[in-house]
């Protein structure tokens, strides 16, 4: 892929959100489209790419607009649920850790002996 195509692809990749369901498929399709464009045109500039294909942000926006709203909402709900679950696990682990540390600090260990300590009996 030529330098102009690489810059154009990089700009599209920056514009595509991570929440897009088939992000990698979309980016692979875009890369194939740019390779085909490069094969069809001997010499071109970045401005030629923008004139023929559109601004990278516009290309990404058109893909997002073509998606239905329900799939976007569903992906956002899943992301939010995962975030809440991770926060809950961290809070629970922090609570257990604090409880264990606090309980361990206040414990005193007593050892009962029946008489004077004789090291020869142990060994």
Put simply, whether the predicted model's pTM sits higher than 0.75 gets the answer no
- State yes or no: pLDDT of 121 exceeds 80: no
65-78: pLDDT as tens digits: 666 666 667 777 88
**pLDDT on residue 90:** 97
- State yes or no: pLDDT of 94 exceeds 90: yes
Q: How many CB atoms are closer than 10 A to CB 12?
A: 23
CB 12 within 8 A of CB 59: yes
3-state secondary structure of 64: helix
- State yes or no: pLDDT of 108 exceeds 70: no
Could you tell me the residue ranges of all domains in the chain?
A: 1-67, 68-108
φ and ψ at 102, to 5 degrees?
-65, -40
Return the CA Rg of the chain: 31
């Amino acid at each position: 892929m030529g330098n102009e195509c690489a810059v154009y692809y990089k700009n599209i990749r920056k514009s595509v959100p991570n929440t897009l369901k088939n992000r990698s498929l979309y980016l692979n399709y875009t890369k194939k489209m740019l390779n085909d464009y490069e094969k069809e045109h001997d010499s071109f500039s970045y401005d030629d790419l923008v004139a023929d294909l559109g601004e990278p942000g516009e290309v990404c926006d058109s893909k997002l607009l073509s998606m239905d709203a329900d799939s976007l909402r569903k992906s956002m709900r899943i992301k939010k649920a995962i975030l809440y679950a991770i926060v809950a696990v961290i809070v629970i682990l922090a609570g257990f850790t604090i409880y264990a540390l606090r309980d361990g600090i206040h414990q005193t260990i007593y050892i009962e002996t029946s008489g004077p300590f004789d090291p020869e009996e142990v060994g």
